[in-house]
Structure 1
Amino acid sequence: MTNLPPHTLSDGRQAVCLAETDSLTLLLDGAPAARFAAVREPGQLSLAPQGEISPLLPAAALYALLAEAFRSDGDVRRVSLALAAAPRLAADAHRLGLFQTLDAAGDAVATRAAFWQLPGNFLSAPASGLFPASLTVSNHHQHPLRPPKPRGEVYRRYLPEIGETLSFRTVDPEADLDVFHDWMNQQRVDHFWEMAGDKEAHADYLRKLLADPHSHPLIGCFDDVPFGYFEGYWAKEDRISPFYDADDYDRGCHVLVGEARYRGPGRFPLWIRGIVHYLFIDEPRCRRIVGEPRVDNVRFIEHLQNHGFVKRKEFDFPHKRAALVVMERDVFFDQFGL
């Protein structure tokens, strides 16, 4: 049986996919709705219905089927599904973006690179991508007007490999001040962030970031226990923009892991995939995620490069020499995503 949590549909019903060696069974509110025979080939999984598909099965429920197909085998790049017997279901699923192609014979194909760009149930707040495009000017740059920051949790993702849930929420300057203050005053953190100080200064810093339309300060949690601080930003109007040709919806992120038990290479792939995934699916127009760590943070830069980021160059800020690191959208979803 799968370890993935149920996929909740817009009407509140829940879809779950149960995996066996040569088949996948889709349940809707606990009742079998469809069973598919599975044939595995290098890089591809082919699914064909075994018996009838329930006429009450909504297309959105197929998300759970594809999520299990891609999660259970990281080498699968494509999933094909024979849906000639359910043309309406196939057409609706194609329209939802669950499948990228649908031919006249009713064969639908989903690709890993496209599928994990769907928000699924990952987003806990309205996406930035819903905000209409409208140009403005700040910091001497023309850029799209940015949406207001959501309050509370913005992203939640269950991690079957460790049996824990990763989440991110917008910083609360009062509730999160103690932990933020503690992290910033750690010698290891201060070496790179240079922000050791008193609580009043840290509270003021967080309040200013929350009032700044271009930044989004976040607290990262494992099973709702805070472990790190993440500072998302829009690159076009950020200090990094003079050093590369930023697109209107490029985003960047500063990160720190404050809790010792969550540091190290074992946890790194889990939270770096999570924050990058959030920034991309929150804004579908975002083409790349950038960063500018200090060049002497060698181990961190190496971890980033091992997980899809490319070091483009080194450059000088007034306060540090930095490395420009870039994650392209297509690289992330095709090779380093879910």
Structure 2
Amino acid sequence: MSNLNDLTALALPSGRSLVADETESRLSLSLEGQPLIRLRLFREPALHIEVEERFGLPAGQAFWAACYWLFARNPDCQYLTWRLGEAPTEALLSGLLIPTETVGEYRCERTLFWQLPQPWLGALRTDSYPQQMVISAGKRHPLRPAKPRGEVYRRFDARLGAWISLRSVEIEQDLVCFNRWQNSPRVASFWEEEGSLQKHREYLNKLDADPHTLTLIGCFDDQPFAYFEAYWAKEDRIAPFYDAGDYDRGIHMLVGEEAHRGPHKVASWLSALVHYLFLDDPRTQRVVAEPRADNAKMIGHMHNQCFHCEKEFDFPHKRAALMVLGRERFFDRCKLA
């Protein structure tokens, strides 16, 4: 685990690096060696920021970079107050900054900052996919967009000191790994999907053709370690067991590589997975999961990431715990860094 007090640079998904020179009263940021912005910091009673000088990039991008740095340095910080001589139009339109009752003061709220989709998403949708209600398999739900291909999410986890990324499953590329993971006794005890390469090829092909489920590979520093299924709850077998919203997402989770187990790794990948699903469609209000009710370790990890257990219920094949995390709670409590 990295010490955030020692942080001097943050890598961005674009490949560029944000470098900082920070003292108690000043912060200077540069991007790939080019000066970006220089700020004065007033830390008492709460952090206030004034711009001394800005270089090159548009104001909105410079303000975003400064907010990212300060929130990453202090995951417990809930808001930043900016004192600006003129209204920051671009930042106000995006929601990066919001006006306060004091003339010339604007706030960046952590809960809003982490809902801005770029630069974390692999492909940015210009707007929410239009809603058209359809019926499939006897269930009424919104028509779903085409599933993305390739990398969908990337963020440098400053606490872990590693990249966490998500990409869509490429069956021929990932089949051997998936087969090995499913045949691990630890995984098999919960997933119960042991079998041959052919069985697992058919399993993945079936999900690839299913518009309600997105299969993902989780990577640390671009090395695959986990398999996830993200599904639209309204069309899933879970729907009859709770009041599923039209844009609720559900998750199935499998960590295959033993070296990437442990609570600090779960905190990184689970928060990234949930973050991606909330960013993917701003209408998504809840992420749910249904681990086996006796999977105390996984349920404990989910509690640590602010999920709550709404109830237990019976699937035909297992007694399940309904784990729920609301959008508001996630962005209010998230420790993304």
TM-score for the superposition, normalised by structure 1: 0.91
Q: Deviations over 1:185-242 (max 9, x none)?
A: 1111111111001111101111111111100000101011110100000111111010
Task: Give the alignment's Cα RMSD to 1 decimal.
Answer: 2.1
Contact kept? 1:7, 1:16, Cα under 8 Å: no
Contact kept? 2:84, 2:106, Cα under 8 Å: yes
Is 1:38 the counterpart of 2:44? The answer is no
Number of the residue aligned with 1:172: 170
Q: 2:25 aligns with which of 1, 22, 25?
A: 22
Contact kept? 1:151, 1:170, Cα under 8 Å: yes
Segment drifting more, 171-180 vs 151-160: 151-160
Within 5 Å, give how 1:105-144 maps onto structure 2. 105-127=103-125, 130-144=128-142
Deviating above 6 A after TM superposition, structure 1's stretches of 4 or more consecutive aligned residues are 12-15
User: Per the alignment, do residues 216 and 7 of structure 1 end up closer, same or farther by CA in structure 2, a change over 3 Å counting?
Assistant: closer
Specify the code of the residue in structure 2 equivalent to 1:324: L
Number of the residue aligned with 2:75: 74
User: Per the alignment, do residues 55 and 220 of structure 1 end up closer, same or farther by CA in structure 2, a change over 3 Å counting?
Assistant: closer
TM-score for the superposition, normalised by structure 2: 0.92
Contact kept? 2:168, 2:214, Cα under 8 Å: yes
Contact kept? 1:16, 1:64, Cα under 8 Å: no
* Inter-partner Cα distance in structure 1 for 2:33 and 2:183: 50
Task: Give aligned-pair identity as a percent.
Answer: 46
Specify the code of the residue in structure 1 equivalent to 2:27: L
Specify the code of the residue in structure 2 equivalent to 1:198: S
Contact kept? 2:175, 2:197, Cα under 8 Å: yes
The alpha-carbon deviation at position 24 of structure 1 amounts to: 1.9
User: Per the alignment, do residues 6 and 255 of structure 1 end up closer, same or farther by CA in structure 2, a change over 3 Å counting?
Assistant: closer
Higher RCO (Cα < 8 Å, 6 or more apart): 2
* Inter-partner Cα distance in structure 1 for 2:97 and 2:304: 30
Specify the code of the residue in structure 1 equivalent to 2:175: L
Within 5 Å, give how 1:173-252 maps onto structure 2. 173-252=171-250
**1:34 aligned counterpart, secondary structure:** strand
**1:176 aligned counterpart, secondary structure:** helix
Number of the residue aligned with 2:10: 4
* Inter-partner Cα distance in structure 1 for 2:239 and 2:119: 32
* Inter-partner Cα distance in structure 1 for 2:37 and 2:149: 38
Number of the residue aligned with 2:63: 62
Q: 1:49 aligns with which of 27, 48, 51?
A: 51
Contact kept? 2:99, 2:107, Cα under 8 Å: yes
Number of the residue aligned with 2:279: 281
Report how many residues are paired: 330
User: Per the alignment, do residues 36 and 253 of structure 1 end up closer, same or farther by CA in structure 2, a change over 3 Å counting?
Assistant: same
The alpha-carbon deviation at position 130 of structure 1 amounts to: 3.4
Contact kept? 2:76, 2:335, Cα under 8 Å: no
Specify the code of the residue in structure 2 equivalent to 1:284: P
Number of the residue aligned with 2:94: 96
* Inter-partner Cα distance in structure 2 for 1:77 and 1:53: 24
Q: Deviations over 1:85-136 (max 9, x none)?
A: x33xx12211121113355722110111111111121111244963211111
Q: Unmatched 5+ residue regions in structure 2?
A: 1-6
* Inter-partner Cα distance in structure 1 for 2:57 and 2:173: 45
Segment drifting more, 114-123 vs 19-28: 19-28
Number of the residue aligned with 1:332: 330
Contact kept? 1:135, 1:144, Cα under 8 Å: yes
Specify the code of the residue in structure 2 equivalent to 1:45: L
* Inter-partner Cα distance in structure 2 for 1:252 and 1:327: 10
Specify the code of the residue in structure 2 equivalent to 1:158: F
